[in-house]
Structure 1
Amino acid sequence: MTDCALPANSRIVVSMLRAEKSFTFIDLFAGIGGLRRGFESIGGRCVFTSEWDRFSRETYEANFHDNREVEGDIRPFAETPELIPEHDVLLAGFPCQPFSIAGVSKKNALGRPHGFLCDTQGTLFFDTAQIIAHHRPTAFLLENVKNLESHDGGKTFATIMHVLTQELGYHVSTRVISSEHWVPQRRKRIFIVGFRDKSSFDINKLKLPEDEGPTLGSILEHDVDSKYTLTPHLWKYLQDYAAKHARAGNGFGCSVFGPDDVTRTLSARYYKDGSEILVSQGEGKIPRRLTPRECARLMGYPDSHKIPVSDTQAYRQFGNSVVVPAVKFIARNMKRHIYAAVDAERPEAAPIRKVTRPDRQAAEAHG
């Protein structure tokens, strides 16, 4: 009879390989890889990526050299989640537009449904939930706009929390975190953290940095091309437009910031006129837009981050991105909880759960 036990030296090798393996994660609605950077920084290894936008895929692939393609539409994978590799952690920045103030206003103006009733994006959270239900990862981190909490009178957020906690059985904590602790930008985003098994992790208990964050001057380039300076015509138009809306009480305004300031939120529409964040070039001088590299720094990306796309696409990508140091902060605090759960003896696989999609007619009845 052959002895099937591993020799001592083989057990050591297996142990070393397990240690080197660290933990695995998947990157859904990946954008240009902001969430990935956070979890790679604590030893995670990405095994699957999905991003619908082809320009974002181009940037992602220029910065992460995986021996696999970045997948596009996630919906076929939600229908057949077994095609996604097993993983310990799921990351998903599911699309902002259905829940953002700007996105809702636009859809209302067009008479179109928004939130979970939007056919192209609104059910993507539920596709994410189907993947969680099938794979039962140790943990997940979801990210979205702050307005997610108040959308549709709180019903959207309540539905999300019901799915994650009651239907999927995860232990979930949520928190809105603003980015000025790490970058010179005020950008509030909601982070939703879930652990499959009971964990002491609570994102609300994390102590944010107490030091003052950096100011705009720390990320500005020298010798900026004149093409980023507004034309006199556009500058006058923005000033007149701001004055008009100020008289009407609408609150629109173009904002000019100096080197000692912290900016407002960079949005995906920045490519249009740059009005939300203009950089002062001195008294009496016309201000300029941020350059794409400055936008990268404003979002906490390293200067090694490659920008292979046009300025227009780069502005869109950074405006839709997460602030990388904020994600790294959360990841560092999740680290010991992730490793403890991954290293622990895995329980028997839980039965695959079904995720209930909201009834469309009932949802429409809510208005």
Structure 2
Amino acid sequence: MSTATCLAASAVLPAVPVDVPRPMKPAFLDFFAGSGLVSHALAQWFDLAWANDICGKKAEVFTANHPGKPFELKSVAAVRGGDIPNAALSWASFPCQDLSLAGAAKGIRASRSGLVWEWLRVMDGMEERPPVVVAENVVGLLSSHDGRSYLELHQALLARGYRVGAVILDAVNFVPQSRPRVFVVGVRNDLEIPPSVVDDGPNWLHPASVVRCAGMTPAFVWWKLPQPRRRSRVLSDIVEQGALCHDAATSQRNLALIPAGHMRRLEESGLAVAPGYRRIRNGRQVLELRFDDVAGCLRTPAGGSSRQFLVIRHRDNWRTRLLTPVEAARLMGAPRSYKLPGSDTDAYRAMGDAVAVPVAAYLARHLLSKLIPGEHERT
């Protein structure tokens, strides 16, 4: 029945609920899209118009979970702004290797993290720059070169006509994984910003590292989001109980790396599982544990030091093993239906390089969707 027919019928019949089609969601672009967790997280508020990544393995994960969505397997350096559609939002989770505290800290002009400038170049070539932009990265962006890496990006967005601010959101608020990330959010100068999403100074989203960088520029927007409710799930809740542990000999070699103090704490903690990373301390390798029932930050499987171990109580003893791909996906907030084609290593890489689903969704719900003209009226 058409809308006109419904309206005419209402003059003679009692009013009945009518399913009015929801207006089309605003389009968004997913640069450095990886395994597609951002596209999944934003789907309730935005419609994916275009995505890209250079990694074929991650592209397999993306296309398996977003069939029919436009995806270009190529370097962002090969993308032309005139070839991609206009959109309300442009999201860029650009490479972190040159900004990570675990890396060489070469800064935002280095070859990998410097690909963020290609993102800006692509938008410069578009028919119209997107009204809202997001650049996501590790918190090292704020400390790299004493804050100058962040300041360069901030000023580049200001020069393109955006009002800009940065927030830190930690996945630990939503899932049992410690994963703080910085989100640089810009909105075009010609758009009105709803007062409800702006504060008059720092709030829970702005730790000292953000405040310090904000003090380096006279133009900084203090974005405001409500604090999330307390997380209820812990690491123990998502551990696959039937997953195969290392054999006794391998477990013993790993357990021997645990510092004596950590082993005592583990025995006294009452925990059934504790996560840990191998690290070099005082010239020797150790397996350092944490005892808050929260996993450490997931990383890509590039080298032994980045592989997260679980120490699991096995009857009256302890055994070790690596995280399973399913556990890694749960720690990123991916739904059980999310497909992870390829090897376990491919799955670790797909999750370790991604943005936690509930974090991106929270940002979309409470900030990004409200910055799009007209969207705040229906979110």
Asked if TM exceeds 0.5, the reply is yes
CA contact (8 A) 2:94 2:115 kept: yes
What residue number does 1:62 align with? 64
Equivalent residues in 2 for 1:214-233 (5 A)?
A: 214-226=233-245, 231-232=250-251
Of residues 31, 35, 40 in structure 1, which corresponds to 2:38? 35
Equivalent residues in 2 for 1:279-294 (5 A)?
A: 279-282=311-314, 284-294=317-327
Equivalent residues in 2 for 1:145-224 (5 A)?
A: 145-165=138-158, 167-196=159-188, 197-200=191-194, 201-202=197-198, 204-224=223-243
Residue identity in the other structure for 2:241: H
Q: Alpha-carbon deviations, 1:223-264, whole Å to 9, x = none?
A: 113469882465157448x9994445x9x7424467x71122
Residue 268 of structure 1 pairs with residue 300 of structure 2: yes
Give, in whole Å, the separation in 2 of the partners of 1:228 and 1:131. Answer: 51
Give, in whole Å, the separation in 2 of the partners of 1:103 and 1:322. Answer: 19
Aligned residues: 316
What residue number does 1:111 align with? none
Residue 45 of structure 1 pairs with residue 50 of structure 2: no
Alpha-carbon offset, residue 130 of structure 1: 2.0
Give, in whole Å, the separation in 1 of the partners of 2:42 and 2:150. Answer: 25
Alpha-carbon offset, residue 18 of structure 1: 9.2
Of residues 279, 292, 299 in structure 1, which corresponds to 2:332? 299
Q: Alpha-carbon deviations, 1:270-326, whole Å to 9, x = none?
A: 773665442423452222211000000001101101010211121122111111101
Alpha-carbon offset, residue 63 of structure 1: 0.7
The structure that is strand-richer by fraction is: 2
- Which of 188-197 and 296-305 deviates more? 188-197
Give, in whole Å, the separation in 2 of the partners of 1:24 and 1:238. Answer: 50
Compute the TM-score of the two structures, normalised by the length of structure 2.
Answer: 0.74
Secondary structure of 1:154's aligned partner: helix
Greater relative contact order, per chain length (Cα 8 Å cut-off, separation 6+) = 1
Residue identity in the other structure for 2:193: S
Evaluate the alpha carbon distance shift between residue 86 and residue 296 of structure 1 in structure 2; reply closer, same or farther with a 3 A threshold. Answer: same
Give ranges in structure 2 of 5+ residues lacking alignment.
Answer: 8-18, 199-221, 260-276
- Which of 307-316 and 221-230 deviates more? 221-230
Evaluate the alpha carbon distance shift between residue 339 and residue 117 of structure 1 in structure 2; reply closer, same or farther with a 3 A threshold. Answer: closer
Residue identity in the other structure for 1:333: H
Residue identity in the other structure for 1:76: A
Q: How large is the Cα RMSD of the aligned pairs? A: 3.2
Compute the TM-score of the two structures, normalised by the length of structure 1.
Answer: 0.76
CA contact (8 A) 1:255 1:277 kept: no
Evaluate the alpha carbon distance shift between residue 23 and residue 118 of structure 1 in structure 2; reply closer, same or farther with a 3 A threshold. Answer: same
How many percent identity over aligned positions? 26
- Which of 261-270 and 318-327 deviates more? 261-270
What residue number does 1:130 align with? 121
Equivalent residues in 2 for 1:9-158 (5 A)?
A: 19-42=22-45, 44-66=46-68, 68-77=70-79, 80-104=80-104, 114-119=106-111, 121-133=112-124, 134=126, 135-158=128-151
CA contact (8 A) 2:245 2:320 kept: no
